[in-house]
Homo-oligomer: A and B are copies of this chain.
């Protein structure tokens, strides 16, 4: 690496580089203060400021507000978007999340991870809201129980019993969301520097979340029947990971389903290496018929089950849950009290329980699955006419993980898409190894308007003509 900066600034930069190379300064460590290093080097403070700023721009060091500069390398939760400065903003997980959350109704959110409002059980929810208006004062105004509303926890126990998971209500903890549930588990089980396995590709926010925990993220290639077992075994042996985070059914982003054989072998490997598994099952209700779950095979010994209601009931009524060993739940309750003074809003739990109990909810799910099946077929056909081909045809859900035509780069297309009113989720957002540059995740429920495909065709043409077109990598 050459310094564009010459003279004194270059000299200061070279001195810091030497300290980094010699590990005199290690990741996370504070750099000398500007004043002190200026004195040491016999230069002006402004020269050191410039040198530090340039090294920060290169990503070697990081500015920490009000506290000078620290050496990069250890992942810093301080400014997540700056933790990997060379990563294109268009393939930054947080960028895709925030585009999806914050873009206006004029944008087509093909890259978002949820259903449009009109696909949700609005009638049942409105009835639950009316029921809430008749609830006691305590429900409306008081903190809830530390583990969350007992009625909803009992519902979850019955539901998991139906899957073959025997557990008590003490093994269920309500959390403010599925994401926050995983975050709590991270705080419970992970320490900075631990290694965590994820699928490659995987849900992009897993990466953002794990970066906050300052752990090393190792990706295992995902196949249509689950993780590649040879690669999984090799990763266990090489990295001794503490945790594996995955979706078993309707895997995000691929829509693939874990096969029984892969599930069994995976658990055998996990037992041999004392690996804990987080099974994030938030898409469960979108499955046409139940498939193999790690938690059901394992019985919550080393598998922790996560769920939420965001995908089939409401993402606004925020509520997730954790099912795990009773002693782990006990420790997680303390962590949730310390960091959030409790779990989800008791009102949220009341609305969820009310909607689930509404006679129409099961019918809503049946209708939703049929509607998604049609939308999936239609989107696959229309995308196909643009040369965009699904990797597999999922059994359910709303995602299609698609290969772009040769020569197309998903990040370039995502940038071009923005100008055409499309929020897209380019493949490398999901890929730890950054090997999915030729892939894109589409949400078929957000693609029922034919203008989507016209805009996509224009964006594809624009991206191809763009000067910055790299070769598409394939996983």
Query: Do B179 and A340 touch (CB < 8 A)?
Result: yes
Report the bound CA distance from A118 to B137 in whole Å: 7
Partner of A98, one of B133, B144, B205, B333: B333
Which residues of A in the span 121-153 have a Cβ within 8 Å of any Cβ on B? 122, 125-126, 129-130, 132-133, 136-147
Q: Cβ of A8 < 8 Å from any Cβ of B?
A: no
Closest to A93 in B: B338
Partner of A338, one of B141, B212, B328, B346: B212
Query: Do A339 and B183 touch (CB < 8 A)?
Result: yes
Q: Chain B residues near A72: list those with CB within 8 A.
A: none
Query: Do A145 and B102 touch (CB < 8 A)?
Result: yes
Q: Cβ of A334 < 8 Å from any Cβ of B?
A: yes
Q: Chain B residues near A385: list those with CB within 8 A.
A: none
How many residues does chain A have at the interface if contact means C-beta atoms less than 8 Å apart?
83
Query: Do B120 and A137 touch (CB < 8 A)?
Result: yes
Query: Do A177 and B341 touch (CB < 8 A)?
Result: yes
Report the bound CA distance from A327 to B78 in whole Å: 11
Report the bound CA distance from A138 to B315 in whole Å: 10
Interface of A is mostly: helix
Report the bound CA distance from A310 to B345 in whole Å: 11
Report the bound CA distance from A351 to B211 in whole Å: 33
Q: Cβ of A318 < 8 Å from any Cβ of B?
A: yes
Q: Chain B residues near A338: list those with CB within 8 A.
A: 80, 94, 179, 205, 208-209, 211-212
Query: Do A101 and B140 touch (CB < 8 A)?
Result: no
Which residues of A in the span 330-358 have a Cβ within 8 Å of any Cβ on B? 331, 333-335, 337-342, 344-348, 351
Known: A133-B130, A140-B314. A146 touches B98 (CB 8 A): yes
Q: Chain B residues near A78: list those with CB within 8 A.
A: 188-189, 331
Tallying the copies of this chain within the complex gives 2
Closest to A139 in B: B316
Report the bound CA distance from A63 to B131 in whole Å: 46
Known: A79-B331, A318-B344. A66 touches B274 (CB 8 A): yes
Q: Chain B residues near A337: list those with CB within 8 A.
A: 94, 97-98, 101, 205, 208
Partner of A274, one of B28, B67, B139: B67
Q: Cβ of A176 < 8 Å from any Cβ of B?
A: yes
Tell me how far the C-beta of A368 lies from the nearest C-beta in chain B, rounded to whole angstroms.
12
Tell me how far the C-beta of A220 lies from the nearest C-beta in chain B, rounded to whole angstroms.
20
Query: Do B183 and A140 touch (CB < 8 A)?
Result: no
Query: Do A315 and B126 touch (CB < 8 A)?
Result: no
Query: Do B335 and A212 touch (CB < 8 A)?
Result: yes
Partner of A339, one of B141, B180, B188: B180
Sorted nearest first, the 4 A-B pairs with minimum C-beta distance are A208-B338, A117-B137, A120-B141, A179-B341
Binding site for B on A (CB under 8 A): 28, 65-67, 77-81, 94, 97-98, 101-102, 114, 117-118, 120, 122, 125-126, 129-130, 132-133, 136-147, 176-180, 183, 187-189, 191-192, 205, 208-209, 211-212, 242, 274, 276, 302, 310, 313-318, 325, 327-328, 331, 333-335, 337-342, 344-348, 351
